[in-house]
Amino acid sequence: MSDPILFLFFLFLLSSAEGAPLRRSFYSESCPGAEATVRGVVSRAMAREARAAASVMRLQFHDCFVNGCDGSLLLDETPEMAGEKAALSNVNSLRSFEVVDEIKDALEMSCPGIVSCADVLIMAARDAVFLSGGPKWEVKLGRQDSLTASQEDSNEIMPSPRTNATSLIALFTKFNLTVQDLVALSGTHSIGQGRCFSIVFRLYNQSGSGMPDPAIDPEYRAELDRLCPLGGDEDVTGDLDATPQRFDNQYFKDLVRGRGFLNSDQTLTSLPETRKYVEIFSKNEKRFFKALVEGMIKLGDLQSGKPGEIRRNCRVVNGISDDQLVKTK
Ligand code: HEM
Ligand SMILES: *[C@@H]1O[C@H](CO)[C@@H](O)[C@H](O)[C@H]1NC(C)=O
Ligand SMILES: *[C@@H]1O[C@H](CO)[C@@H](O)[C@H](O)[C@H]1NC(C)=O
Ligand SMILES: *[C@@H]1O[C@H](CO)[C@@H](O)[C@H](O)[C@H]1NC(C)=O
């Protein structure tokens, strides 16, 4: 066998093994510039719009919790398949899919058919954290892209902003994620924004009480009431912490003072076992960063074990022509 053929055969072996172990430097031979390409596009996207960092990094969570990190989130709906983009937690909420397209287009120029969309999400999330002032870590790569998506599974699995700490612990435990992982991963709300849609219930009718959530600091609640008046525009957005463009431990300092934006944030102070980590991370940013990195790697390790492919276009399974698609944003 000639060298290039041997090389392709080797690649085939690696990528055809279902659930093949992920590893660092997976593309160091096949696409050595991959990580630099991803970082360049994320950095340019952030220069255009600061919030892109948050929007891009969130995609890893919503991809990985639904049948593993397999890029299923990125598939546009087709007449035969309802996409995950329109699932309850995603519709009118997930953003920056065009940044993923831009990364993938750049990779297809330099190394066609090599880098999976699932891996793009993992690299981009890491870069978004690092470029926002957070920790830097080495990602494991070698994921395959799914052949399908499941809106139903997303609806069932993804937690709503109303979820309480007990339910969040139960959910994360299903993915072998610990209480420390839950609290550290929630700390990604150190960057980005949420909609009034996600908090009006806790401002005006927490748990059907007709009253606001008593855990909200009164001054902060007055601010939120002004931002999100009852009956107002629920697409208006507010910052998830006091420094929404900086990846830091401000989120935890805010939680300690009752200034968490979402119910699912503030609820982390409601149980001793979650509150413990909120307090530790609020005082010690290094501990937060270390736990965050561990959590992000575990989140990235979730795999479906189903056969996949390297998609050419992250929105479409290979072999489907564009005109069969119903484009979504
Ligand atoms: C613990 C359970 C979680 C819940 C209930 C939750 C829920 C939410 C909600 C409701 C929003 C605002 C969406 C909107 O109003 O449109 C949001 C934003 C965000 N979430 Fe989470 N989240 C959770 C965990 C995570 C994790 C694990 C990550 C990342 C690994 C993450 C990253 C983000 C980011 C970065 C944003 C801001 C996005 C932007 O500005 O576009 N979240 N989350
Ligand atoms: C948390 O939410 C679950 C599911 O909605 C509910 O059954 C449970 O009673 C809640 N726990 C607390 C302490 O509010
Ligand atoms: C959690 O760990 C158990 C035991 O190691 C394993 O059997 C199971 O598949 C894991 N679950 C997930 C979602 O990774
Ligand atoms: C508050 O929520 C409860 C239960 O969901 C509902 O029955 C009630 O009508 C709501 N109150 C208001 C003022 O929206």
166 close to ligand 3 (CB < 6 Angstrom): no
Residue whose CA is closest, atom 1 of ligand 3? 176
Catalytic residues, which ones?
62
pLDDT of residue 315: 98
Residue 195 Cα: closest atom of ligand 1: 15
pLDDT of residue 320: 66
List the domains of the chain with CATH numbers. Answer: 17-158+300-324 (1.10.520.10), 165-298 (1.10.420.10)
pLDDT of residue 325: 59
Nearest ligand to residue 166 Cα: 2
97-148 pLDDT, tens digit per residue, is 999 999 999 999 999 999 999 999 999 999 999 999 999 999 999 999 999 9
pLDDT of residue 321: 60
Which residue's structure tokens are 């413990």? Answer: 276
How far is residue 57's CA from residue 192's CA, in Å, rounded to a whole number? 10
Burial class (CB in 10 A: 0-12, 13-18, 19+), 269: buried
Residue whose CA is closest, atom 5 of ligand 4? 208
Nearest ligand to residue 66 Cα: 3
pLDDT of residue 319: 84
Closest alpha carbon to 153 in 60, 80, 90: 90
Cα 160 to the center of its chain, rounded Å: 14
CA torsion sign for 234, 235, 239, 240 is: positive
Is the separation of the CB atoms in 261 and 194 below 8 Å?
A: yes
State both tokens at 211: 């009253």
96 is in an annotated binding site: no
pLDDT of residue 11: 45
70 is in an annotated binding site: yes
Residue whose CA is closest, atom 11 of ligand 4? 210
pLDDT of residue 128: 98
3-state secondary structure 124-161: HHHHHHHHCCCCCCCCCECCCECCCCCHHHHHHHCCCC
177 Cα–ligand 3 center, Å: 10
Q: What is 84-100 written as a DSSP string?
A: GGGSTTTTTT---HHHH
98 Cα–ligand 1 center, Å: 19
181 is in an annotated binding site: no
Below-50 pLDDT ranges, the chain: 1-17, 329
243 is in an annotated binding site: yes
206 close to ligand 4 (CB < 6 Angstrom): no
pLDDT of residue 170: 98
Is the separation of the CB atoms in 184 and 291 below 8 Å?
A: yes
pLDDT of residue 5: 47
